Amino acid sequence: MSYSILVASVIPLAFLFLIKWLNFFETHRARLVLLALVWGAISVELSYQVSHPMRLVLGPVFVATHTAPIVEEVFKSLVLLYLVRRADTTFFVDGAVYGFASGIGFAIAENMLYLSRVDVDTGVVVSTIRAFISSIGHGTCTAFVGMALAGFPMGRLNRHPLVAWVVGLTVASALHLTYNNTAFHHFVFGQTGLLVLAAINFSAFVILCAAILWGLRRERRRLRRSLGMSAGVSSGEAVLVERIDDLDELLIPIEERFGEIKREQVANALRLGAQLTMKQNLLKRTRDPELRAVIKPQIAELKRELKRARHDVGMYVMSLARSIMPKTTWSLWARLGQTLAELETPAAPRASLWELLRSKLVGHNVAGESIHFRIRTALDLRERAAELTTEGDG
């Protein structure tokens, strides 16, 4: 049974990590993801308290195929209303992350409930099916509600949180009802039924991921227009922020010269600059006086965090980071492609992304030395001159 419990909990959390990982701006907060996860688990009990009396009157099949999905989606999404009213969502991808976390919390708690009712052998099958099919469905449904609440473009429909909530609930409930009706009325048993159910939830999951990637690209276009205007981000930092999904590759020279800790400090400062600009854009778009009153202190705190982060990095390292990055065009699939490239074992050696970038940075000097080499040489000469001056004074 321990194996079943492990599968029923770890696999759903792995999908949550994937959704969280897609948001390379990292505008979500870990403690709020945990809050949504815990609330999702609690909402299992709340949903049961509402649906159980209805089962006694209407019958279990009717409730499962007509009312239970709606009840579950309502309770799972209540935490999202709370987060939106506290201005804890910068753009709709945050809503997707928090919504998916709430759905996964619900799924894990429900998986444990199912496992408590079966024997060991049956538990392995149940945990596997629910981990890969039902859990994804719960997470995806609530993620759609989170996207609607957090500002997914719907024209005038999402100007009021309650209207956006109803729209999101409608989409989530329709998907959930389709899944339950398919399971109970057409494909209760057999491999074909499982494949159909998996196709429903995985198709919705792919749509969710595509919407997140589209949202990230849309937000990057806004950043290009806003960086450096109001956030105090330099042009060099703006170039880096535009390639924030590739920071691991682009900050290789910083890591080689100053170490991994300093590279992480630079990356953190750049992310904070992006988050600050996005919050300022959110403030411009928000008309609700209460939300504006909540967002302004958040912007002030981000400015303080950014100032501390830049101080930790140091002027010298930050200046070097700003000077070495070229302007490049971002691809929608850059983040996924980068990770897949790292997992591949190529049959023949090929140039890395950094080598390609370095070749484009070669100046017009006779020796053909890259700008990185010339900057490093100049810095080494300065350090040597300072040492000679010190020795002469001694």
Q: Domain residues of the chain, as ranges?
A: 2-222, 227-334, 346-387
Of 51 and 281, more confident: 51
Those residues with Cβ within 8 angstroms of residue 245's Cβ, 6 or more apart along the chain or in another chain: 24, 216, 330, 334, 335, 338
| First and final C-alpha spacing in the chain | 74
Those residues with Cβ within 8 angstroms of residue 122's Cβ, 6 or more apart along the chain or in another chain: none
What is the arithmetic mean of pLDDT over 4-33? 91
210 pLDDT higher than 50: yes
95 pLDDT higher than 90: yes
- Give me the phi and psi of 50, to 5 degrees please: -85, -45
pLDDT tens column, 265-283: 888 888 888 888 888 888 8
pLDDT tier for residue 260 given thresholds of 50, 70 and 90: confident
343 pLDDT higher than 60: no
177 pLDDT higher than 70: yes
Residue for token pair 């002027």:
315
What is the arithmetic mean of pLDDT over 167-195? 84
Contact between 79 and 102 (Cβ < 8 Å)? yes
Query: Which pLDDT score is estimated for 323?
Result: 63
Contact between 300 and 292 (Cβ < 8 Å)? no
Instruction: Give the separation between CA 389 and CA 153, rounded to whole angstroms.
Output: 62
Q: How far is CA 119 from the centre of its chain?
A: 37
Q: At what angle do helices 135-149 and 92-115 cross, to 10 degrees?
A: 150
Query: Which pLDDT score is estimated for 225?
Result: 67
Query: Which pLDDT score is estimated for 329?
Result: 41
Q: Tokens for 140? A: 């995806």
Other Cβ atoms closer than 10 A to 296 = 13
- Give me the phi and psi of 295, to 5 degrees please: -70, -35
12 pLDDT higher than 90: yes
Q: Which of 364, 145, 375, 147 is nearest to 256 (CA)?
A: 375
Mean of the per-residue pLDDT values for the chain? 80
Question: Alpha carbon of 94 to those of 40, 84, 242, 303: distances in Å?
Answer: 16, 10, 19, 20
pLDDT tier for residue 347 given thresholds of 50, 70 and 90: very low
Question: Nearest-5° angle of CA 233, CA 24, CA 268?
Answer: 50
pLDDT tens column, 122-154: 888 889 999 999 999 999 999 999 999 998 887
pLDDT tier for residue 194 given thresholds of 50, 70 and 90: confident
Instruction: Give the separation between CA 48 and CA 192, rounded to whole angstroms.
Output: 30
What is the arithmetic mean of pLDDT over 11-25? 91
Query: Which pLDDT score is estimated for 151?
Result: 85
Question: Alpha carbon of 322 to those of 184, 313, 326: distances in Å?
Answer: 59, 12, 10
Q: Tokens for 195? A: 């494949």
Most confident of 221-230, 244-253, 344-353: 244-253
Other Cβ atoms closer than 10 A to 373 = 16
Query: Which pLDDT score is estimated for 26?
Result: 84
What is the arithmetic mean of pLDDT over 258-265? 83
Of 377 and 343, more confident: 377
Percentage of residues in the chain having pLDDT higher than 70: 72
Instruction: Give the separation between CA 353 and CA 200, rounded to whole angstroms.
Output: 37
Query: Which pLDDT score is estimated for 229?
Result: 47
Contact between 184 and 64 (Cβ < 8 Å)? yes
Beta bridge partners of 362: 370
Query: Rg of the chain's alpha carbons, rounded to an integer?
Result: 25
Beta bridge partners of 370: 362
Query: Which pLDDT score is estimated for 317?
Result: 77
pLDDT tier for residue 184 given thresholds of 50, 70 and 90: confident
What is the arithmetic mean of pLDDT over 210-227? 81
Instruction: Give the separation between CA 330 and CA 217, rounded to whole angstroms.
Output: 8
Instruction: Give the separation between CA 105 and CA 108, rounded to whole angstroms.
Output: 5
Query: Which pLDDT score is estimated for 170?
Result: 96
Instruction: Give the separation between CA 19 and CA 97, rounded to whole angstroms.
Output: 6
Question: Nearest-5° angle of CA 302, CA 208, CA 65?
Answer: 125
Q: Which region, left, alpha or beta, applies to residue 288 given φ > 0 means left and ψ of -120 to 50 means alpha? A: beta
354 pLDDT higher than 60: no
